Structure formats: C-alpha cells, structure tokens
Amino acid sequence: MKKVALITGVSSGIGKALMEKMLIKNYFIIGTTRKQQKLKHSANQYFITLDLTDTESIENAINLIKSKFDNIDILINNAGIGSDHIPSLTEVENFKIRFETHIFGLYFFTESLISLIPQKGKIINISSKLSSFNLIDKLSPSIFTPTKTAYILSKVTVNLYTKILAHKLKDKKIKVLSIHPGWVKTKLSKTNQQAPMLVEVSAQKIYKIIES
C-alpha cells in the first residue's frame, strides 16, 4: 500500500522537485498550490488550492482533505515566501505576510491535520539556517532589513513550533523535524536565483532525511 505524503507549495521549486522525487519512490502525493492552477489529478497525485494567508482557503483545504483521505503518513510544510522585499507591499505588509504564511497558516493547517497522521508518521517543516541563533552574530548587520528580519523571525518561530509539536506528539511517536533545504536556486526570490544548489539536489537531501 502506498504511503501518502502531503506537500504544500508544489507548483515550483523545492516542493515540485520533492513531489517528483517522491512520486518516483511510489508515494501518493497530495500537493497544494497557492493559486488555482491547471494541474491534473492522477492515480498517484491529487492537487488542492491552499493560500496560507487566507483563513477561508485553509478551512476549505482542510475540509477537502478530510473528505478525501483517511490518513496522511507524511506532512511536509514547504510553502513559503522568500526573504526579498515585495515591492507591491508596504514594509508592514511584507512583515505581516511572512508571519501569516510561515506561522499562522502553517500552525492552523498542521494542527487541523494531526488527527490524520498515524503513529510513527512524520511532520517536516522547511526552515532556514538563517534562523539559527549561532549564526546571527556571524552575519553582516546590513542583512537585517525589515523584510529579511521578518523572514528570519518567522523561521525562528517555525523551529520553536517544531520543538513544541515534537514534544506534544512524542507519545504518538510522530517524528517532527525542521529542515534547512540549503541555499537553493529557485524563483522564490531574486537572491535565491543566485544560489548554487539545484532544487533536485535539495529534494534528494530532504528525501534522505525523511526516509532516515
């Protein structure tokens, strides 16, 4: 019987590469995309619209998932927003959207699906090494723009939530991890387009951790 993996943010980047990797490894994939796209369901994958900044979108996605699936073996919270300033948003809006996506949306989406995750299931949160307390002092002070700071703070909170969740679910033997995917060449931000690592390499590394 195929294991079921739910991956958020599969339209491009790491999420898409990880989905393709896990399909090859015989997983059934539930994939989410922020905007409604013409992605076709198949015998091995099912697509759902999910905007983590929109409460109604989260609720609709959760209700649909629960109506279609009895269990989720692995939940991979991959959907996110990069650390570059979004010109169309104000400074406050840039700050807010990162917390809405990386914390509020991730939290309520995850908490609502825990009942579907069986014993020895897994929850993987994609984080960033920029959220490491040990790294902060080594970074140039110029890096801490409001938007970059918002990104880092939101990922610090993801890591803390991961610790809380791991402790809360230890009796159920659900493994909860935060993973730094590497500096990966994606369209998530202009900065990431300069990165040396291909998404396929990152996906392979994440998959090895998932299977370990």
- Give the 3-state DSSP-derived string for 23-41, with helices as H, strands as E and coil as C: HHCCCEEEEEECCCCCCCC
The type of residue at 164 is I
> Which pTM was predicted?
0.93
* Averaged pLDDT of the chain: 92
In angstroms, rounded to a whole number, what is the distance separating the alpha carbons of residues 124 and 112?
15
**Rounded percentage of the chain residues whose pLDDT exceeds 70:** 94
| Residues whose CB falls within 8 Å of the CB of residue 89, separated by 6 or more in sequence, listed in order | 97
- As a whole number, mean pLDDT of residues 35-44 equals 79
pLDDT band of 39, cuts 50, 70, 90: confident
Kindly tell me if the per-residue pLDDT of 38 is higher than 70.
no
Extract the tokens encoding 68.
Answer: 């279609």
pLDDT band of 189, cuts 50, 70, 90: low
Asked whether the beta carbons of 38 and 150 are under 8 A apart, the reply is: no
Kindly tell me if the per-residue pLDDT of 206 is higher than 90.
yes
pLDDT band of 192, cuts 50, 70, 90: low
Half-sphere exposure of 141 (CA within 13 A, CB side): 0
Element (H, E) at 99: helix 91-99
Extract the tokens encoding 77.
Answer: 């919270």
Q: What is the pLDDT of residues 86-139, one digit of tens each?
A: 999 999 999 999 999 999 999 999 999 999 999 999 999 999 998 888 888 888
Is residue 22 packed enough to be buried (19+ CB in 10 Å), middle (13-18) or exposed (0-12)? buried
Strand order from edge to edge, sheet including 4-8: 45-49, 28-33, 4-8, 74-77, 122-126, 175-179
Asked whether the beta carbons of 180 and 127 are under 8 A apart, the reply is: yes
